[in-house]
Structure 1
Amino acid sequence: MPHSQGTPGHVRTRDGRTLFLQRTPGPPGMPTVVLEAGMGATRSSWAAVQRAIAGRAPVVVYDRSGLGRSAPDPGPRILHRLAMDLNDVLDRIGADRYLLAGHSWGGPVARVAVAARPERVAGLVLVDPTDEGCELYFTRAFAVQERITAALLPALARTGLLRRASAPMRRGLPADAAADLRAEWLSPAGVAGHLAEAASTVTDLRALRADPPDTGAVPVTVISGTAATGTGRRVRAALNAAHAVRAALGPERRHVLALRSGHLVPVTEPDLVAGEILRLAGRRP
């Protein structure tokens, strides 16, 4: 039986690492939609959105290095390197135009990648993205929280508690993608990949502040969760304020609120995300 996330394949990065991807077809003339997962997350986190887009545009999901079924990276998983890998994926796919969507940390990854080659990108959808405009990322409290998380996650993964805690998220996914997510995401190896990406978060955000990536005339939609689930009210308010500023910088000034969601908008409101992706994908170049 075909997998809900499509035909499997592999691409190689410029330095020879193998990245795993899956793709579903779409009608000719539509840009290829490439979905960039959040920090430490695998391609399966996008499965509900991919299902909502199925048949209306070609879609590619992939695992970054060290996550899911992709080979690890001997180098540091800094933001610039993640964005270079995304552009390697786009190079190997070989489509004429792309529509990129990034969730959480995938938002900055997609922004940096677009800035390098904006001419081939038809649109950018940032789904509850990490944003350097949110001051709370630069506080001592955030640094302490990150250290505690880094200490606890490996132990929780070894005991299987993380996989059990992911059950509510898996309920929103097709059964085959949910099984992949359970096996690959919150495993000890998956947590190691997450921590490798998290190691330079604040440094990367400071670099974005100092030198913001220029996405030019590429249309941008920012989608924000509204519930404080997983973030807390203070963080949610500060993050959504930064999202509003980010949206106002784009050509369309489009900021969409996901009224039934916290941070995991691709799982809780996949039709909303798919609708914004397809709206941009259907625009004339």
Structure 2
Amino acid sequence: MVKLPEGVDINNLIDDLRIFSWEAADILLQYSQILKKSDYKKNILKNGNEKDPVTKADLDVNDLILKRMQSKYPSIGWKYLSEENAKADPNNCDINSDWVWILDPLDGTKDFLQGTDNYAMHFALNFKNKPFLGVVLIPERDELWISNGVNVWCDRRQHINLKLNSFPNKSLCEMTLVTSKNHSNPTLMNLIDKICFKNVVTMGSIGCKIASIIRGESDIYISLSLPDKSSPKDWDFAAPEVILKTAGGAVTNLENEELCYEKANFDQAGIIIASNNKNMHSKICFQIKEIIKKYDIYPFIT
């Protein structure tokens, strides 16, 4: 078990994360209601780029979480990496520390602007480039997924907390795949078609996808980014990875290798597979790799 920095109690830290996350939920829900009631998209969209949007909600939650953490833990030697700060100044990301908090204040911004419920906040604490604990907040579902590094659970303000079930062993053709709503590509669709999943559902936000796996609504998620194209970043995967792994699942690349965080560009490129059963995961990766080879779907893999 990894020991937190001196002066940090895990139970107090989790309590703080819970408080700060529900504050963030209030901000996101407020902006969501504004978007649903009126044509305020142009006012909420800060960068004018609907292909890679940044909204007031992103910035307000980013500001809230960083200020709350820095105020509560001013003398702890951990660093912070947030999507919004990295976008604003990618050359000013000082993360030279064993302990790094990774924040995505609004994962699924396109879905958020489109008025769907599939958006989330991710906040994870990495230790030596690996996610150690974290939260995935899904405001519209009243869900706050929390991992303390040992256990995972879902807090809810208005409803009874969710109970987690064990994950059954399934073959690929028996699985339900959850895939991206706004970030698909023909190569991924070709792979999905060749695997012949039992069912395919689409939604935004990697955090929402991973939560759907933990709930048992889906079984597997595949992220496939093409060379020289955009790819997910550390803040997309860190918190979802730790809650899924703590729940008994796995997140790796196609070679069944753990993800590596805090690289120079923060990219999580190539093919990443998240599944609900760590005991079956290596077999799943192997089978998908064999399908890719058979149909020459992703020929640049080694």
In the superposition, the TM-score normalised over structure 2's length comes to: 0.29
Higher-RCO chain (CA-CA 8 Å, sequence separation at least 6):
1
Q: Which has the higher helix share?
A: 1
